[in-house]
């Protein structure tokens, strides 16, 4: 049951960012890959490092390979690795198919139906889904089919979670947590290959001029960092095996470091602070208060980005644009698909996209939910989180991490974190099942 769902999730994680990864390392469109290196290096020849550490500008070029200082060069590399091609669309369809097969197999092999669907325990999620459906119908009636379809993709995890939550009744099936751990561990070979072969799309490390801010099998570096933090907390909460927990810790730390993800470090420190606070001692609680503050202060050195605080501030400031919403929009939402990353990719010039009136909605999951469903939708989502928080102590670190991430990332579109969050929110309350076996 949960093994089928976990296997589908694992395969989907590998396929989700497969096209950008293959483009970055030159496995797809190799001619454009080589041409991008020539553009990065200017008139200097491209040399192959004898140690096998990928392609770099020849030392005779007289300049360091730091695309961050040349926005046009960085844009050229980014354009090469984020293009959409028939191969990429096939990979995305394969990802959706793997997840769908996992869901169907899990549903077909579900034998213990003692809990039923327990819809009364999930009414906030059902109400939120109904509100999204109403906005979708109104959007299609207005002729905004593309934004509606893009927005619905952000909520596809909700029906799957409501259907399959009894499969992960407490104690959470170890098989599912181990597939999540495997998805973390499999990022390590991806990161090694990317460090050796990838175009330096984001930044160059100060050591050997290797690419910095890697993405693994996800699309963007920050997505990898947030998935690593959330996935690690998910595994630590429910996995009884020390070996699996230790391996997950190593993999998550490596992913966050390689991604240069400020959000990943902050979320990890928040989870660590929670566990320290739970220990109850005065010294532990002082450490719990100091840990996140220390990490936030050290972020520029942890991620080698002196402007990282400006990035966080800009995302939070964009929420001020919500003040421009009409009263009816502020209460019930105003744009199906506003802020959806799918819409930003397919049609960024759409009024609901990054270039339209709802440009600010793409900066965070909270902003997107506010734009799409208004304060009512935010309250329903908050109520679902609070019910899950009260139901089971083991869920709280994961809920804390994902709730914080929602302020700085479009978490509704961040696979597989969005699916894990939906499953946790729709999970059978602890009182209806045996106590969990994981770390609390």
Residue 232 has pLDDT above 90, yes or no: yes
Q: How confident is the model at residue 311 (pLDDT cuts 50, 70, 90)?
A: confident
pLDDT at residue 86, rounded to an integer? 75
Of 280 and 215, the structure prediction assigns the larger pLDDT to 215
pLDDT at residue 43, rounded to an integer? 60
Residue 139 lies in a domain: yes
Task: Check the CA dihedral 21-22-26-30 and report its sign.
Answer: negative
pLDDT at residue 226, rounded to an integer? 93
Q: Which of 213, 296, 300, 224 is nearest to 260 (CA)?
A: 213
Q: Taking residues 86-99, what's their average pLDDT?
A: 80
Q: Taking residues 10-37, what's their average pLDDT?
A: 83
Task: Check the CA dihedral 190-196-199-205 and report its sign.
Answer: positive
Of 110 and 293, the structure prediction assigns the larger pLDDT to 293
Residue 377 lies in a domain: yes
Q: Taking residues 295-309, what's their average pLDDT?
A: 78
What are the tens digits of pLDDT across the range 38-92?
Answer: 777 666 556 655 454 555 665 444 344 443 334 444 555 555 555 566 777 788 7
pLDDT at residue 435, rounded to an integer? 40
Residue 250 lies in a domain: yes
What are the tens digits of pLDDT across the range 379-399?
Answer: 999 988 888 888 778 888 999
What are the tens digits of pLDDT across the range 136-153?
Answer: 888 888 777 777 777 777
Residue 235 has pLDDT above 80, yes or no: yes
Residue 109 lies in a domain: no
Q: How confident is the model at residue 250 (pLDDT cuts 50, 70, 90)?
A: very high
Q: Taking residues 8-32, what's their average pLDDT?
A: 85
Of 294 and 42, the structure prediction assigns the larger pLDDT to 294
Q: Taking residues 417-434, what's their average pLDDT?
A: 69
pLDDT at residue 31, rounded to an integer? 81
Residue 165 lies in a domain: yes
Which of 72-81, 121-130, 242-251 bottoms out in mean pLDDT, i.e. has the lowest? Answer: 72-81
Q: Taking residues 25-37, what's their average pLDDT?
A: 80
Residue 206 lies in a domain: yes
Residue 45 lies in a domain: no
Phi (first) and psi of residue 204, to 5 degrees: -115, 135
pLDDT at residue 190, rounded to an integer? 93
Of 39 and 191, the structure prediction assigns the larger pLDDT to 191
Phi (first) and psi of residue 426, to 5 degrees: -95, 5
Q: Hunting for tokens 């083991």 — which residue is that?
A: 394
Count of domains in the chain?
A: 1
Q: Which of 1, 5, 3 is nearest to 420 (CA)?
A: 5
Q: In whole angstroms, what is the distance from residue 438 CA to residue 189 CA?
A: 28
Range of the structural domain that residue 291 is part of: 116-432
Give the Å distances, CA to CA, from 86 to 97, 247, 316. Answer: 16, 36, 36
Residue 11 lies in a domain: no
What does the mean pLDDT of the chain come to? 75
* Neighbouring C-alpha atoms within 13 Å toward the C-beta of 387: 20
Cα-Cα end-to-end distance for the chain = 24
Regarding pTM above 0.75, the answer is yes
Give the Å distances, CA to CA, from 187 to 4, 75, 138, 160, 256. Answer: 21, 25, 41, 25, 11
Residue 183 has pLDDT above 90, yes or no: yes
pLDDT at residue 329, rounded to an integer? 78
Q: How confident is the model at residue 254 (pLDDT cuts 50, 70, 90)?
A: very high
Estimate the crossing angle of helix 417-425 against helix 157-164, to 10 degrees.
40
Q: How confident is the model at residue 125 (pLDDT cuts 50, 70, 90)?
A: confident
Of 428 and 308, the structure prediction assigns the larger pLDDT to 308
Tokens of residue 415, six digits = 């696979």
Which of 22-26, 111-115, 318-322 bottoms out in mean pLDDT, i.e. has the lowest? Answer: 111-115
pLDDT at residue 398, rounded to an integer? 92
Q: Which of 375, 380, 336, 378 is nearest to 358 (CA)?
A: 336
């Amino acid at each position: 049951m949960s093994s089928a769902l976990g296997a589908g999730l694992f395969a989907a994680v590998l396929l989700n960012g497969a096209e950008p990864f293959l483009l970055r390392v030159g496995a797809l469109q190799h001619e454009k890959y080589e041409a991008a290196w020539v553009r990065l290096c200017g008139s200097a020849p491209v040399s192959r490092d004898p140690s096998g550490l990928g392609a770099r500008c020849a030392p005779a070029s007289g300049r360091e390979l730091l695309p961050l200082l040349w926005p046009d060069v960085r844009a050229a590399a980014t354009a090469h690795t984020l293009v959409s091609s028939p191969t990429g669309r096939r990979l995305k369809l394969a990802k959706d198919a793997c997840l769908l097969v996992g869901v169907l197999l899990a549903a077909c092999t579900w034998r213990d139906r003692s809990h039923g669907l327990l819809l009364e325990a999930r009414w906030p999620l059902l109400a939120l889904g109904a509100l999204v459906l109403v906005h979708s119908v109104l959007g299609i009636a207005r002729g905004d089919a593309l934004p509606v379809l893009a927005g619905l993709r952000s909520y596809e995890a909700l029906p799957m979670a409501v259907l399959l939550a009894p499969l992960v009744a407490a104690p959470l099936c170890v098989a599912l947590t181990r597939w999540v751990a495997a998805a973390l561990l499999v990022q390590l070979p991806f990161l090694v290959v990317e460090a050796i072969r990838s175009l330096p799309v984001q930044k160059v490390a100060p050591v050997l001029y290797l690419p910095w801010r890697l993405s693994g099998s996800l699309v963007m570096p920050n997505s990898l960092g947030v998935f690593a933090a959330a996935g690690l907390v998910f595994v630590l909460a429910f996995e009884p095996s020390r070996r699996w927990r230790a391996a997950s810790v190593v993999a998550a730390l490596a992913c966050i470091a390689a991604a240069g993800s400020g959000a990943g470090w902050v979320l990890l420190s928040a989870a660590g602070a929670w566990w320290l606070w739970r220990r109850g001692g005065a010294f532990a609680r002082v450490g719990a208060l100091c840990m996140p503050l220390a990490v936030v202060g050290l972020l520029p050195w942890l991620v080698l980005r002196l402007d990282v605080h400006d990035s966080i501030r800009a995302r939070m400031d964009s929420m001020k644009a919500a003040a421009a919403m009409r009263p009816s929009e502020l209460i019930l939402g105003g744009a199906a698909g506003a802020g959806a990353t799918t819409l930003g990719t397919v049609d960024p010039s759409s009024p609901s996209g990054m270039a339209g009136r709802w440009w600010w909605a793409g900066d965070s999951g909270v902003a997107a939910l506010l734009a799409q469903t208004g304060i009512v939708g935010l309250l329903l989502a908050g109520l679902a989180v609070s019910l899950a928080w009260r139901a089971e102590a083991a869920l709280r670190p994961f809920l804390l991490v994902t709730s914080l991430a929602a302020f700085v990332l479009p978490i509704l579109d961040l696979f597989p974190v969005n699916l894990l969050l939906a499953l946790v929110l729709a999970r059978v309350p602890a009182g209806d099942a045996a106590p969990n076996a994981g770390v609390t």
